[in-house]
Amino acid sequence: MKILLVDDEKELVSTLAERLEIRGINADWVISGEEALERAEKVVYDLAVLDIKIPRISGFSLKRKLQEKHPEMKFIFMTGHGCGYDLEDGSGKAGDEDCLAKPVDITTLIEKMNEVLNVRGDAL
């Protein structure tokens, strides 16, 4: 299982990756959409956890670009701006089912990852 974490807040994303690794979950992290796209050229990820508001490319746009390369990839959004309503300029919606509010609780993130990946129990 390979996870990609994308957030422009380096401390947040590196800490999330470290906390996932401690739990045996293989997680890479990057701080820009461009880095995410470069990484996805070399590695096939099962799941990407994307910040909605990252510089130069929104999380929604990044999701679409990643899906073009890897249609099977699953996604979770995270944001400090609230979930459950339209968060982008007409090109996407993050509902409660695929969005976590920051700061992200690691237990909640793992539960959401299991749910999105259709994993039973605490498999991750």
**pLDDT score of 44:** 94
> What are the φ and ψ backbone dihedral angles of 87, each rounded to 5 degrees?
-110, 0
Per domain, the residue ranges of the chain are 2-116
Please indicate, yes or no, whether the overall pTM of this predicted structure exceeds 0.75.
yes
- Asked if 29 and 5 touch (Cβ cutoff 8 Å), the reply is yes
**pLDDT score of 96:** 37
Write out the chain's pLDDT in tens, 124 residues.
Answer: 899 999 999 999 999 999 999 999 999 999 999 999 999 999 999 999 999 999 999 899 999 999 999 999 999 999 886 665 444 444 444 443 478 988 899 999 999 999 999 865 555 5
**pLDDT score of 98:** 79
Determine the topology of domain 2-116 in CATH. Answer: Rossmann fold (3.40.50)
**pLDDT score of 78:** 93
Pairwise CA distance, residues 78 & 6, whole Å: 9
**What totals of helices (H) and strands (E) does the chain contain, helices first?**
4, 5
Output DSSP code: residue 104.
P
**pLDDT score of 120:** 56
